[in-house]
Amino acid sequence: MRALLILLFWVSFVTEANEVTVKSPNKQLSLTFTDTNNIAQYRIDFEGKPVLGEGKLGFTFAEAAPMYRDFTVKEVSRNSVDNTWAQPWGEQTLIRDHHNELLVQFVSETDSQNTFLVRARVFDDGVGFRYEVPSQDKRVITRELTEFNFVDSHKATAYWIPAHGRERYEYLYRTTPLQEVYKAHTPFTVKYDNGVHVAIHEAALVDYAGMSLDKQELGRFSAALAPRHDGSLVHKNGPFTTPWRTVTIGDKATDLVNSYIALNLNEPNKLGDVSWIEPGKYVGIWWGMHIDDFTWGSGDKHGATTENTLRYMDFAAEHGFDGVLVEGWNIGWDGDWIANSELFSFTQSYPDFDLEKVTQYGKEKGVKLIGHHETSGGITNYEAQMEEGFALYQKVGVSQIKTGYVAHGQNLKVRDDNNLMRYEFTDSQRVVNHFIHNVKTAAKYQLSINTHESVKDTGLRRTYPNWISRESARGQEYNSGWAAPNPPEHIPMLAFTRMLAGPMDFTPGIFNFDYIRKNDGGVEWGKSNVMRPQTTIAKQLAQYVVLYSPIQMATDLPKNYEAKPDAFQFIKDVPTDWSESIALQGEVGDFIVMARKARAHKGYSADDWFVGAITDENAIDLTIPLDFLDKDKKYEAQIYVDGKDAHWETNPYALTIEHKKVTTTDTLSLHLAASGGAAVRFKALP
C-alpha cells in the first residue's frame, strides 16, 4: 500500500511537468520549455533528435528572491514572422528573417510575484531566446543560470578559446573533445561525429555582461557573465531584457557560416540616414611599427610624420585606396604607453605631424585620413575627451576611426565617482556600455568605428551600422614577430568560430615574409617557431574574400606591393561590400571556400563574383562547381593560386596567375599548397 502511494505520488509528480514547444518554419528544429522537477528548463531537438538536453533557466540576485527552484511554465503568446530586410552594407544585401516566436512565463509556486518571461525565436538554422524580467526593483545579478547541455557530449569535438584571460579574445583556437572544455568564449563551435554542427553565441549584447561558457559537468555548460570590478555581474534598475542566447545548428560546417540569426535578433538601424558610412580599403602607417621599422612614439623612427603620411597618400591615390590609417600621431605614446593610458591626448598631435596639412592633401588626392584613438584601456580618460576628439576629426574630414584598448582583459581602467581607479573586464557591463556609447557618440559626428581589443561582436552593426568592424581575435599583427605567429590552421579556424560573430579587421595582405624578427621569447608558440606569417602569398590574397569586413587593409609596406604588382592587382580589384555571400565548402580548422558577389560601390561591378579558398597545414585539391555564377553570363576567371611547389615554410611566394573563360556550368579545380590558398575574380564579360 505504502509503495503504491509512493508510486502514485511519483507518477503525478512526473506527469505534472508542463511543456510548451515551438518549431522552426521547416519543423526540423524545436525548442521546448519545461518545468521538469519544478525547475525552469529548456531543450532543443534537431531533425528529430535532442541536441541540447534539458538545461536550466533563471537567475540568482544579491538581494531579491532567486529565480531558481519551484517555477512552473505557461504559454503567453505566439507569433510567426517572414520578413526580408536590407543591410546598408554587408556580406549580403537582403537578409530573410523567417521564424516562429513563443513567449512563455515562469512563475514561482511560492510567490506569484516572482516571475520571468522567456522569448524564443526559432529559425530553420537556429534558435535565439532571451529573458524579459518585469521586476520594478533594483537588481544585482549574481548568477545567470542558463545552461547549454550537450547531448552525447562524448561524440563531439569543440573549437574554442579560453574566456576571462588576460589576452581577451586573442588566443589560438583549441581543438579538443567537448568534454575537455573548461571555460570558453563564444562563438563556441561544436562538431558531432554524425556531422551536426552547433555554435553557441549571443545577440544584441547591450547593457549587460558578455556571456562565456563554464563547464559544470560533462557536456553541461552554464553562462558565465564577465564580472564587474566589484565582483557582481550585472546591475539593473526596473524591468530588463537580456541579450539573446543563440544556438545555430546545421548538418555541416558551412551551415553555421551561412546563417544570419544573430543579425535577425538585433534591432533595426537606429541611426536613420547612414549613407555617410563608407566601406572601403585602406593602407597605413602601421605594419612598419609592428615589424620595428617605425615607432609609435616620437624620435628618429617616428612613423606618423607629415612626410610619411603624404607618401602613403600618394601611394593610396595611385592604387585606388580610400584611406590611410596613421597610428602614433597623437601625444601619449612616449614611455610605457600601455601603462600610461591617462597620458593619451585625442586632440594634440606630435609636432612632426600636421593634421591640417595631411587631411588637406588627402582631399586633393581623394584619399581620407583614417583616425586612430588608442586608449590602452583608459576608459575614463577617453570618455572625457571623446567628443573633442571626434569633433576635431570630423572638422578635418576624417570619416572612420580605429580605436584600441590595449590592456590586459581584466584591466580596463574606469574611475568611479570618488575618482578611485576600478579595473573592468573587456566584456563587463560597464565596458560593454562604453563601446556602445563610443559608437553612438561617433554617429553624431558621422564617424564610423573599427574597434580593436573590442568586446566580441553580437550583431550590433545592424542597429549601429557605423560600428563598421572590429578585431576581437588574433589578427595579422601576431605574425609580425612580437609574438608566436598564427599557425596555418588559424584562418580556417576563424572562419567557423570568430567570423560567425561578424566582420573582422584582420588586416590581410602581407607580401614580404623575409623580415623575420628575433624571437622575443616567453610567448605561447604556434605549431612552428618561424616568426612570420605561416602562409603562402596566395593565401594572403584569399583572406580578402574569406574574412569578411566592409573595410579591409592592404597591410604591407608600399614598397612590398610595388615589388609584386601582379599579385597586388587582386587586392586592387577586390571589393569590400557584397550583395551575396555563400560558404561553399569547408571543415572547421581545415579549409574553407567562400563565394561572394560584389555590390555596386566605388566603381566595382555588381556582376562580378569572387572566390577565396584557404587551407591549413595540409595541401588540398578542391573541385568547385561554378553553379553559383549567374546563369546568363560569361566570365573571365582571374585565378591567383599557389604555384608549383608552393609551401608556406619553404616556398611561400610561388604564385600562378591564370585567366580563363568560364560559365556557370564549369567546374574549377584548384590545388592549394600547405597553408596555401586561391583568390579568384570572376569578371563578368560584356
**CA 422/CA 229 separation, integer angstroms:** 6
Nearest approach in angstroms of CB 452 to Ca ion is 5
Question: How many C-beta neighbours within 10 Å does residue 481 have?
Answer: 19
**CA 298/CA 350 separation, integer angstroms:** 7
- Binds 124, which of Ca ion, ligand NOJ, none (CB < 5 to 8 A, cut-off by type)? none
**CA 119/CA 337 separation, integer angstroms:** 45
Nearest approach in angstroms of CB 474 to Ca ion is 8
What is the maximum alpha-carbon separation in the chain? Answer: 96
Nearer to Ca ion, 201 or 452 (CB): 452
Site for ligand NOJ in 302-331 (CB under 6 A): 327
Nearest approach in angstroms of CB 442 to Ca ion is 20
> Which one of residues 368, 452, 456, 498 is an interface residue with ligand NOJ (CB under 6 A)?
452
Nearer to ligand NOJ, 477 or 616 (CB): 477
Question: How many C-beta neighbours within 10 Å does residue 36 have?
Answer: 16
Write down the H helix ranges in 445-597. Answer: 490-494, 537-546, 558-562, 565-573
Nearest approach in angstroms of CB 372 to ligand NOJ is 7
- Binds 642, which of ligand NOJ, Ca ion, none (CB < 5 to 8 A, cut-off by type)? none
- Binds 310, which of Ca ion, ligand NOJ, none (CB < 5 to 8 A, cut-off by type)? none
- Lay out the site mask for ligand NOJ across 456-475 (x = CB under 6 A, - = otherwise): ---------------x----
Residue 583: Cβ-neighbour burial (10 angstroms; 0-12, 13-18, 19+):
buried
Site for ligand NOJ in 475-504 (CB under 6 A): 477
**304 SS3 class:** coil
Task: Count residues binding ligand NOJ (CB under 6 A).
Answer: 8
> Which one of residues 126, 280, 288, 404 is an interface residue with ligand NOJ (CB under 6 A)?
404
Under 8 Å between Cβ of 328 and 296: yes
Under 8 Å between Cβ of 156 and 221: no
Site for Ca ion in 447-476 (CB under 5 A): 452
- Binds 327, which of ligand NOJ, Ca ion, none (CB < 5 to 8 A, cut-off by type)? ligand NOJ
Nearest approach in angstroms of CB 327 to ligand NOJ is 5
Give how far Cα 532 sits from Cα of 475, 481, 590, 675, Å.
Answer: 13, 6, 20, 13
Nearer to ligand NOJ, 133 or 289 (CB): 289
Nearest approach in angstroms of CB 322 to Ca ion is 22
Under 8 Å between Cβ of 103 and 117: yes
**72 SS3 class:** strand
Nearest approach in angstroms of CB 615 to ligand NOJ is 26
- CB neighbour list of residue 33: distance below 8 Å, 6 or more residues apart: 19, 20, 21, 40, 41, 42, 57, 73, 102, 104, 106, 118, 120
Nearer to Ca ion, 119 or 452 (CB): 452
Nearer to Ca ion, 266 or 451 (CB): 451
Task: Give the cell for residue 51.
Answer: 541536441
> Catalytic amino acids?
477
Site for ligand NOJ in 38-57 (CB under 6 A): none
278 binds ligand NOJ (CB under 6 A): no
Task: Count residues binding Ca ion (CB under 5 A).
Answer: 1
Query: How many residues would you count in the chain?
Result: 686
Nearest of 164, 149, 187 to residue 41 by alpha carbon: 149
Site for ligand NOJ in 351-390 (CB under 6 A): 374
**CA 657/CA 655 separation, integer angstroms:** 7
- Binds 374, which of Ca ion, ligand NOJ, none (CB < 5 to 8 A, cut-off by type)? ligand NOJ
Nearer to ligand NOJ, 471 or 608 (CB): 471
Applying CB under 5 A, the residues found at the interface with Ca ion are 452
**Residues at the interface with ligand NOJ (CB under 6 A):** 286, 327, 374, 404, 406, 452, 471, 477
